[in-house]
Amino acid sequence: MIMTPAPLISGTNAERSRMSNRQAALGQIRSAGQMGRAEIARNLGLSTQAVSNIIADLQADGLLVEAGTRSQGRGLPAVQYGINAEGGYALGVEIRPDAIFTAIVDLHGNATATRRRTLKNNEPEYLINMLLKLRAEMLEKTGVDDKRLMGAGIVIPGPFGQTGVSGLGSDLAGWQHLDAHALFEEALQLPVELSNDANAAAMSEQITTGLNNFAYLYFGAGLGLGLINQGQLVKGAFGNAGEIGHVQVMTANGPQSLESQLSRVAIQKHMNANNTIDITAIEYLFNQSDPKLMQWLDAGADALSQALALIENLFDPQSIILGGAMPAPLLEYLTTRTVLPTLSVSNREDNPHPRLQIGTCGRMAATLGAASLILNRAFTPNATSL
């Protein structure tokens, strides 16, 4: 499977300008909730008239709805516009070796339908058929016209391609040499965004928090890092950026991989569990204040602290967000136990954001993140290929 770095810089003409301006206007409205035309025009450096035309278009396309008027001081009150949740939908998909998760997400970012199926195998044909069936089911249930589906965001386990960290358990058997992107686009007949779990979850967090320079630590089976720089995902040359699990940290037992200290699998191992411990089981143990789990959390906090120092000094983010398939209270507890590193460029007074915070938690974090890859394109100029 090939992921080209694609530096495709393209020229601009009137039509592409309009497209770009439409997206910029939508982006403004989304991040503010609702807005008037004159304000959008000021923010984008366009004339009121231009924005009026654009808004009229968007409204005709069903992407916007009027939302009353608002007056601030003198002058004619501004007619407010908001995103029409039903104006468009994104298909979010997470594929794991053992299961597939899907969701239909509206323009407000709310899931209107979700599905979860266990997988018998990872053969492309089986998987694609499953995916098509789930899409059809969800579309029927929600009554969404499939013309309103803007695209599919698909999370598949990294690393992409055959690399030095392949075959360590999490990747999809038999997919290393496939062009998954083309395969999915062909099957779904939709624009597709491929990504790993951490990047997808990070993108979704960008939308909800409004941050545009941050790092996202995603707890899946292992541990992944999603990086957002200037609002853009840092995917790396082959889409494999963020493989933080293999980074070494110091422990009482000498240097170990971060993933072996801080992940669901690490918990499993620490608890000497024979079968997989999932998020529900972890939540139960945490609510019981299970001594072994609490012990693990202390060691985990130490590893996390080292990871923070690393991320902060390499990336200087506004904030580091924890999320993924872990119970929120556990991550909350983990943050309170974690020492924020002193020797760090993020150790400064004038950052208005917390250095460490909790984001979206739960099983569907990556699936919703996948959908947000598509939503993001609708709201960001020049993001067609990211």
Residues near DNA (CB under 7 A) are 11-15, 17-18, 21, 36-39, 45-50, 52-54, 69, 71, 73-79
Residue 356 touching its own copies (CB under 8 A): no
As a whole number of angstroms, the distance between CA 224 and CA 239 comes to 13
| Structure tokens belonging to residue 54 | 């654009």
As a whole number of angstroms, the distance between CA 62 and CA 148 comes to 10
As a whole number of angstroms, the distance between CA 343 and CA 158 comes to 31
Q: Pick what 53 binds: DNA, its own copies, none; C-beta below 5 to 8 Å, kind-dependent.
A: DNA
- By CB under 8 A, what part of segment 228-287 binds its own copies? 229-232, 234-244, 246-248, 250, 255
According to DSSP, residue 87 is labeled G
- By CB under 8 A, what part of segment 156-175 binds its own copies? 158-159, 161-165
Residue 1 or 63 with smaller CB distance to DNA: 63
Report, in Å, the least distance between residue 57 CB and DNA.
Answer: 8
Residues 303-342, one symbol each (x = binds its own copies by CB under 8 A, - = not), give ---x--xx--xxxxxx----------------------xx
Report, in Å, the least distance between residue 317 CB and its own copies.
Answer: 6
User: Which residue(s) pair with 321 in the sheet?
Assistant: 216, 357
Report, in Å, the least distance between residue 182 CB and its own copies.
Answer: 17
As a whole number of angstroms, the distance between CA 23 and CA 160 comes to 30
Distances in whole angstroms, Cα of residue 33 to Cα of each of 56, 67, 127, 377: 18, 10, 37, 18
Residue 60 or 237 with smaller CB distance to its own copies: 237
Stretch that binds its own copies, among 95-103, 125-133, 140-148, 227-235 (CB under 8 A): 227-235
As a whole number of angstroms, the distance between CA 385 and CA 103 comes to 22
The conformational region for residue 201 under phi > 0 = left, psi -120 to 50 = alpha, else beta, is alpha
Residue 33 or 77 with smaller CB distance to DNA: 77
| Structure tokens belonging to residue 385 | 């290929």
Stretch that binds its own copies, among 87-95, 261-269, 325-333, 347-355 (CB under 8 A): 347-355
| Structure tokens belonging to residue 34 | 């609702």
**What separation, in Å, do the N-terminal and C-terminal C-alpha atoms of the chain show?**
18
As a whole number of angstroms, the distance between CA 316 and CA 323 comes to 19
According to DSSP, residue 39 is labeled H
Q: Pick what 225 binds: DNA, its own copies, none; C-beta below 5 to 8 Å, kind-dependent.
A: its own copies
Q: Pick what 239 binds: DNA, its own copies, none; C-beta below 5 to 8 Å, kind-dependent.
A: its own copies
Residue 18 or 148 with smaller CB distance to DNA: 18
- By CB under 8 A, what part of segment 19-78 binds its own copies? 20-21, 24-25, 27-28, 44-46, 50
